[in-house]
Amino acid sequence: MTEQLPDSGRSAASDPLTAQKIWLYLKRSARLRCPVCGRSPLFLPARRTESIPDWFAMLPGCPRCGYRYEREPGYFLFALWLVNFGMVTFVGLGLLLALDRFFTLSTAQLMFFTLVPLWVLGIASVRHIKAFFLAVDHLIHPHEEE
């Protein structure tokens, strides 16, 4: 099923910014799909990854529509260092405060029950953070192939 905005056979990137378009791009990023066509995956499927870097590496571009995922070297640094780190920090502070408020734990227990889930969250969310960053960047500043 092709996800296109109604009354449009064009790329969704050339349409004005609407709530429907924002929702469409967010859905595509949640499904780890190309922000332009919504069909091709952004990453190798888990069963085809051979190493840890394969898991985190985004494919170079969409084979269907030709959209290049990484615009320039270091394109995803902002996504990883600010968005992912910010989210993990925010969740960690909330988790730490909640654990401290509702449970009687030692400092070591607090650290353990806060840091272990944060490591898991930080690593598990990398793909979705990159996809979300790509979708939002494409939504705000769509680029056309030169």
Going residue by residue from 60 to 99, which x/- string records binding to Zn ion, judged by CB under 5 A?
A: --x-xx-x--------------------------------
- Is the CB of 65 or the CB of 123 nearer to Zn ion? 65
Tell me the Cα Rg of the chain: 18
What's the CA dihedral at 32, 38, 39, 43 to 10 degrees? -20
Residue 78 CB, shortest distance to Zn ion, in Å, is: 22
Q: How far apart are CA 115 and CA 50, in angstroms?
A: 27
Q: How far apart are CA 96 and CA 53, in angstroms?
A: 30
Is there binding between residue 131 and Zn ion (CB under 5 A)? no
Is there binding between residue 32 and Zn ion (CB under 5 A)? no
Is there binding between residue 37 and Zn ion (CB under 5 A)? yes
- Phi and psi for 94 in degrees, rounded to 5? -65, -45
Stretch that binds Zn ion, among 32-40, 79-87, 99-107, 131-139 (CB under 5 A): 32-40
Q: Using the rule CB under 5 A, which residue among 12, 24, 32, 36 binds Zn ion?
A: 36
**Do residues 126 and 84 make contact, with C-beta atoms less than 8 angstroms apart?**
yes
Interface with Zn ion by CB under 5 A: which residues? 34, 36-37, 40, 62, 64-65, 67
